[in-house]
Amino acid sequence: MRFASNELTRVQICGGAWNGIGVDGFLYEPETYATLDRFIESVEWVVDTYPLVRYNLSNDQLIGTDNGDDVADEPGRVVLQMRVPDRKTLVQWYEWHLGAQAD
C-alpha cells in the first residue's frame, strides 16, 4: 500500500483546499486546537481510527477516509495510508490552522 503525502494527510485531517476544491477536515471543533498537545493527540486519533484515504486518480481529488474494512484499490482510485508526521510538521500544521482561522 502506498502512503499519503504529508500535505494530503494535512488537508484530510485539518481541512483546506486540495486541487482547488475545499475539503472539510476531521478536526473542525475549536477545542481540538486549544493546545498543541490536544491537537497532536487528535491527529494521532484520526490516523489510528481512520488510517486510509480513498483517492480518485482521474480528477486528483479526495474521496474520503476509511477505517480499513474491505478496502481495496478500484479502477481509477487508490487507497493511501496516512501516517502521523514528525513533531516539527505537526507544529507547522497547528500554526497553519491558527493562521487560517485568523484570516
The string of pLDDT tens digits covering residues 1-34 is 789 999 999 999 988 888 888 888 888 888 888 8
Q: How many domains does the chain have?
A: 1
Is the pTM of the predicted complex or chain greater than 0.75? yes
Output the pLDDT for position 71.
63
Whether the per-residue pLDDT at 64 is higher than 80: the answer is: no
Residue 81 belongs to domain spanning: 2-102
85-101, pLDDT tens digit by residue? 999 999 999 998 888 66
CB-based contacts of 5-12 (< 8 A; 24+ apart in sequence): 6/85, 6/89, 8/53, 8/55, 8/62, 8/80, 8/82, 9/47, 9/53, 9/82, 9/83, 9/85, 10/93, 10/96, 11/62, 12/53, 12/62, 12/65, 12/82
- What pLDDT band is residue 65 in, cutting at 50, 70 and 90? confident
Output the pLDDT for position 46.
92
- What pLDDT band is residue 54 in, cutting at 50, 70 and 90? confident
Please give the Cα distance from 41 to 38 (Å, whole number). Answer: 5
The dihedral through the CA atoms of 7, 13, 19, 20 has a sign that is negative
Please give the Cα distance from 60 to 70 (Å, whole number). Answer: 22
Other beta carbons within 10 angstroms of residue 68's beta carbon come to 13
